[in-house]
Copies of this chain bind each other. A is one copy, B any other.
Amino acid sequence: MSITHLQSFVAVAEEGHVGRAALRLHITQPPLSRHILALEDELGTPLFERVPKGMRLLPTGEALLQHARRILEEVEVAARTVREAAGASRPPPA
């Protein structure tokens, strides 16, 4: 379970469509599809139902979505916090 895979998962969950999510992430469909398959394989359960229009979240996927969003948010906050801590202790470059 990598951060990249979680980003991919959230994008597909929100778009309901691998193709559109791929455009949004600036990658092509196959690697993105593989990210989802890898997550499903790792967790041992499908996360989406494949419907003619695209991808629809299953209950397992709904559960993951909440955690994934929180994790990605935490990562953002962590990076920002460290940079702020660095800026606070380091004298301004002027």
**Residues of chain A at the chain B interface (Cβ within 8 Å):** 1-4, 42-45, 47, 59-60, 63-64, 67-68, 70-71, 74-75, 77-79, 81-83, 85-86, 89-90
A81 to chain B, nearest CB (A): 5
In the bound complex, residues from chain B placing their C-beta under 8 Å from that of A82 are 43, 45, 47, 60, 63-64, 67
- Majority secondary structure, A binding face: helix
A71 with B60: CB separation less than 8 A: no
Q: List 24 A-B contacts (CB under 8 A).
A: A1-B3, A1-B75, A1-B79, A2-B2, A2-B3, A2-B4, A3-B3, A42-B79, A43-B82, A43-B83, A44-B83, A44-B86, A45-B82, A45-B90, A47-B82, A59-B89, A60-B82, A60-B85, A63-B81, A64-B78, A64-B82, A67-B74, A67-B78, A71-B78
